[in-house]
Amino acid sequence: MNRTRLDDRLADLDTDGYLLDASQEDANQLYLSGFTGPDPFLTLYADGEVHVLVSGLEYGRATTEAAADTVERHADYDYEYGGREERNDMYAAFVRDKGVESVSMPPRGPVGTADALRDRGIEVAVDADDRLQAVRAVKTDDEVDAIRDAQKANEAAMRAAEELIAGADVAGEGDDAEAGVLLRDGEPLTSERVTEDIEVTLLRHGCALDETIVAGGAQAADPHDRGSGPLRADEAIIVDIFPRSKASKYNADMTRTFCVGEPSETLREWYDLTERALGAALDAVEPGATGEEVHAAACEVYEEAGEPTFRTDPETETGFIHSTGHGIGLDVHESPRLASGGEELEPGHVITVEPGLYDPAVGGVRIEDLVVVTEDGYENLTDYPIEFVAE
Amino acid sequence: MNRTRLDDRLADLDTDGYLLDASQEDANQLYLSGFTGPDPFLTLYADGEVHVLVSGLEYGRATTEAAADTVERHADYDYEYGGREERNDMYAAFVRDKGVESVSMPPRGPVGTADALRDRGIEVAVDADDRLQAVRAVKTDDEVDAIRDAQKANEAAMRAAEELIAGADVAGEGDDAEAGVLLRDGEPLTSERVTEDIEVTLLRHGCALDETIVAGGAQAADPHDRGSGPLRADEAIIVDIFPRSKASKYNADMTRTFCVGEPSETLREWYDLTERALGAALDAVEPGATGEEVHAAACEVYEEAGEPTFRTDPETETGFIHSTGHGIGLDVHESPRLASGGEELEPGHVITVEPGLYDPAVGGVRIEDLVVVTEDGYENLTDYPIEFVAE
């Protein structure tokens, strides 16, 4: 964690401290405390020091693992597991014990804790800007390396997926399966089968995984459809993989779109357009450029070709119907956003760039690379070919 | 979802509606909306109807997938992605549009949204009892079946782990590895290797996974240590697996403790005590019994044998240093708690029962089964032998 940047970003807050009540599932908590607690615990940042309060069960591990100046346990406040009001009394006592009478909490902090502290005379303000997220957004070299390593696992998993898809046979009229269905060893090749190979590969490379997208045909036209059932020839198959390193907890992200057989002319045009939109967006990435400008560069490629975007039609359900990308780190989706209103890029921002086109009648195409913003542009952390028709 | 139970549980709230602002990561949200949205979205329950508000990107999928009476998208409120105040205006307009002027939110709902609605004249109360969690705690037969299926995957994974451990050789003086280290194919058998086999097995059985514990020796003495490095003969190895069905999203949970070689007399005593504590706790499980009583039954076995528990010493770091169990469902940890203050058990509660003993100088032993409370006792959803020394 970069404490100078943290102090700098929090300097204009009017409160005595910054309070988190969350488990390791919350990236702010993981970042500030350095502790992988599976249940919610408190972290208070005040006067340049990090204070952690955990249950007795977590205490031993927290004392060695947490990047904190002090680690306390519930028993230090004579709290026994169970009573809700007593727990809130303990929280207030923990905050006051650090000389803190007012705290800021991030917007997604729990309202129950905020209101309980207010009831006990502690002022609680919402840090609507989520300043910790802005601190996290700029990565150190070590953090960039952690993301780079996760992307290497991603590349291995993408290769496993592409080999499975590219090596498939296509069912003909005489086969048991419906004509056009992809086959492996005579069995229909399903989204689930490809996903399984991807996820096993990720595990073998030290990564956990949340959800993986392997979606073909009309399923691919919904950017968040995970895909299911048999894959088919001549359709676009979107493979979107976002692994998380088990050791470092940092995420990576990559998307490729594949086709076995003969894509329609429209799909070929979409693929070329999307590759151009990716290039245009990447060309726009540099310190000082805004996320909105990078998004605009991708939109313009599509709009010039007559494809709808959210800029030209906020209600469109076809065309380029999502943002161009997002920051990534301890969260899969974090600052900065490459979208309308997206903030200014800084060296150390790690972002995805992922334009795409969607229409249930045609299918979906998306290409996504992961890059880090450098002093004079960007470095691409993704080493995987961009080719539509698998061979 | 059981709407009768929902209406019954929410009846005494003084507000017009119940509001969630969360992604599918939040079990209340998944339960109430039925929608697997990866980014936070709003769900409002009012006048017996479920209303969902999602972004344009999620709209198509939400209309088919969500268990909601109405699904709306941001564009319905003329909101474009980006502006924070405009987003909060949209949230307030969405709530008011349903005739709602006051809402309850669960204690872990986001304070940013709560305060923003308050600023816009909507009353927000904290439902400190987290009533939705109490509704979720009682499972329908379909939910129990989903958990049962996940536990079957768990059994397959536990078998893979036990076979790997039981089939290990033990390094002697002449081997490359340190004497006492477990070996597979001449290589040290590590926690990481066993974990990988467990997780690959879970994936092949349709389950995702969060973190798996394979911890031996002193590592096993910390109940939340995931374990790392070579495993050794004569030490207790805790294997704790909690998979989640990818299709149903329901979790399962099981722990076994294994030993290769000759456990110490203390470890043997601990294992026998823990098996007895498990039996005593299970015997106490029936409708009308409280979680506190089930916990007491396990504690008494340990306390009579002179082992410390949190009941006899809240600051102890050795002995039985956690609760006896927890409810499980869409969350791995949910109501009811088998602990001090634990609530009354009802038919349909699915709970873990998992006593254990810990001391870094000895190691750790834990045995955990998963059961459903029935009309006259419980049904054990776990079909896996309880044997310490692997053969």
SS3 A323: coil
Q: Which residue of B has its CA nearest to A223?
A: B57
User: Are the Cβ atoms of B108 and A112 closer than 8 angstroms?
Assistant: yes
SS3 B22: strand
What is the separation of C-alpha A277 from the centre of its chain, rounded to a whole number of angstroms?
Answer: 21
With cut-offs at 50, 70 and 90, classify the pLDDT of residue A3: confident
Q: Which residue of A has its CA nearest to B359?
A: A60
Percent above pLDDT 70 for chain B? 99
Contacts B82 to A, Cβ<8 Å: 337, 339-342
| pLDDT digit string, tens, across residues A139-149 | 999 999 999 99
Q: Cis omega (within 30 of 0) on the bond before B336? A: yes
In Å, how far is B53's CA from the nearest CA of chain A? Answer: 14
User: Are the Cβ atoms of B60 and A196 closer than 8 angstroms?
Assistant: no
| pLDDT digit string, tens, across residues B115-150 | 999 999 999 999 999 999 999 999 999 999 999 999
Domains and CATH numbers, chain B: 3-136 (3.40.350.10), 138-380 (3.90.230.10)
Helices (H) and strands (E) in chain B, counts: 10, 21
The partner residue sitting opposite B314, judged by closest CB among A37, A58, A75, is A75
SS3 A325: strand
Q: What pLDDT sits at residue B31?
A: 96
Q: Which residue of A has its CA nearest to B341?
A: A82
In Å, how far is B209's CA from the nearest CA of chain A? Answer: 8
- The answer to whether A216 and A236 are in contact (CB under 8 A) is yes
User: Are the Cβ atoms of A314 and B80 closer than 8 angstroms?
Assistant: yes
Query: Residue A129: how many CB atoms within 10 A of its CB?
Result: 16
Continuous H helices in B18-110 = 27-33, 56-65, 84-97
Q: What is the residue whose two structure tokens read 């994936």? A: B203
Contacts A200 to B, Cβ<8 Å: 200, 203-204
Beta strands, E only, B55-174: 70-73, 102-105, 123-126, 169-170
Supply φ then ψ for residue A43, to 5 degrees. -130, 125
- The answer to whether A350 and A327 are in contact (CB under 8 A) is yes
Query: Residue B14: how many CB atoms within 10 A of its CB?
Result: 8
In Å, how far is A128's CA from the nearest CA of chain B? Answer: 7
User: Are the Cβ atoms of B110 and A111 closer than 8 angstroms?
Assistant: yes
Q: Which residue of B has its CA nearest to A318?
A: B57
Identify the CA nearest to A74 among candidates A61, A85, A58, A63: A58
Contacts B115 to A, Cβ<8 Å: 111, 126
User: Are the Cβ atoms of B39 and A333 closer than 8 angstroms?
Assistant: yes
The DSSP call for residue B375 is T
Rounded to whole angstroms, how far apart are CA atoms A134 and A331? 12
Question: Residue A390 is encoded by which pair of tokens?
Answer: 């698998």
Q: In this structure, are strands B254-258 and B237-241 parallel, antiparallel, or unpaired? A: antiparallel
Give the full edge-to-edge strand order of the sheet including B102-105.
B70-73, B49-54, B41-46, B17-22, B102-105, B123-126
| pLDDT digit string, tens, across residues A214-236 | 999 999 999 888 999 999 999 99
Rounded to whole angstroms, how far apart are CA atoms B259 and B166? 8
Is the model's pLDDT at A68 over the cut of 80?
yes
Beta strands, E only, B123-275: 123-126, 169-170, 182-184, 187-188, 207-209, 213-216, 237-241, 243-245, 254-258
The partner residue sitting opposite A111, judged by closest CB among B37, B80, B107, is B107
Q: What is the residue whose two structure tokens read 């998993």? A: A157
What is the separation of C-alpha B314 from the centre of its chain, rounded to a whole number of angstroms?
Answer: 24
Q: CA dihedral in degrees (A22, A25, A26, A28; nearest 10)?
A: 110
Rounded to whole angstroms, how far apart are CA atoms A180 and A59? 58
| pLDDT digit string, tens, across residues B220-276 | 999 888 999 999 999 999 999 999 999 999 999 999 999 999 999 999 999 999 999
Q: Which residue of B has its CA nearest to A315?
A: B75
Q: What pLDDT sits at residue A220?
A: 96
Rounded to whole angstroms, how far apart are CA atoms B32 and B19? 10
What is the separation of C-alpha A143 from the centre of its chain, rounded to a whole number of angstroms?
Answer: 14
Strand partners, B216: B237
Question: Residue B65 is encoded by which pair of tokens?
Answer: 């997938």
Is the model's pLDDT at A81 over the cut of 70?
no
User: Are the Cβ atoms of A317 and B61 closer than 8 angstroms?
Assistant: no
Is the model's pLDDT at B67 over the cut of 80?
yes
Supply φ then ψ for residue B85, to 5 degrees. -65, -40
Q: To the nearest whole number, what is the mean pLDDT of chain A?
A: 95
Q: If phi over 0 gives left and psi between -120 and 50 gives alpha, with beta otherwise, what is residue A334?
A: beta
With cut-offs at 50, 70 and 90, classify the pLDDT of residue B84: confident
With cut-offs at 50, 70 and 90, classify the pLDDT of residue A245: very high
| pLDDT digit string, tens, across residues A177-218 | 899 999 999 999 999 999 999 999 999 999 988 789 999 999
Interface test with A, best of B111, B207, B253 (most A CBs within 10 A): B111
In Å, how far is A200's CA from the nearest CA of chain B? Answer: 6
C-alpha distances out from residue A230 to A189, B64, B100, Å: 5, 21, 45
Interface test with B, best of A41, A78, A86, A111 (most B CBs within 10 A): A111
The one-letter amino acid at A30: L
Considering only the C-alpha atoms of chain B, give the largest distance between any 2 of them, rounded to a whole number of Å. Answer: 79
Query: Residue A121: how many CB atoms within 10 A of its CB?
Result: 9
Q: Please measure the distance between the N-terminal and C-terminal CA atoms of chain A and give it in whole angstroms.
A: 45
User: Are the Cβ atoms of A40 and B105 closer than 8 angstroms?
Assistant: no
Question: Residue B4 is encoded by which pair of tokens?
Answer: 């009768």
In Å, how far is A199's CA from the nearest CA of chain B? Answer: 8
Q: To the nearest whole number, what is the mean pLDDT of chain B?
A: 95
Q: What pLDDT sits at residue A342?
A: 93
Is the model's pLDDT at B383 over the cut of 70?
yes
Rounded to whole angstroms, how far apart are CA atoms A328 and A245? 13
Is the model's pLDDT at B335 over the cut of 80?
yes
The partner residue sitting opposite B314, judged by closest CB among A80, A322, A333, is A80
Q: In this structure, are strands A350-353 and A369-374 parallel, antiparallel, or unpaired? A: antiparallel
* Residue A28: its H or E element: helix A27-33
| pLDDT digit string, tens, across residues A371-380 | 999 999 999 9
Q: What pLDDT sits at residue B390?
A: 66
Q: What is the residue whose two structure tokens read 């031993």? A: A60
Strand partners, B293: none
The partner residue sitting opposite B128, judged by closest CB among A84, A246, A314, is A84
The partner residue sitting opposite B126, judged by closest CB among A115, A199, A333, is A115
User: Are the Cβ atoms of B112 and A106 closer than 8 angstroms?
Assistant: yes
DSSP of A247-285, one letter per residue?
TT--B--EEEEEBSS---HHHHHHHHHHHHHHHHHHHH-
Q: Which residue of A has its CA nearest to B110?
A: A108
The partner residue sitting opposite B225, judged by closest CB among A61, A73, A337, is A61
User: Are the Cβ atoms of B317 and A84 closer than 8 angstroms?
Assistant: no
Q: In this structure, are strands B182-184 and B350-353 parallel, antiparallel, or unpaired? A: unpaired
Q: What pLDDT sits at residue B82?
A: 66
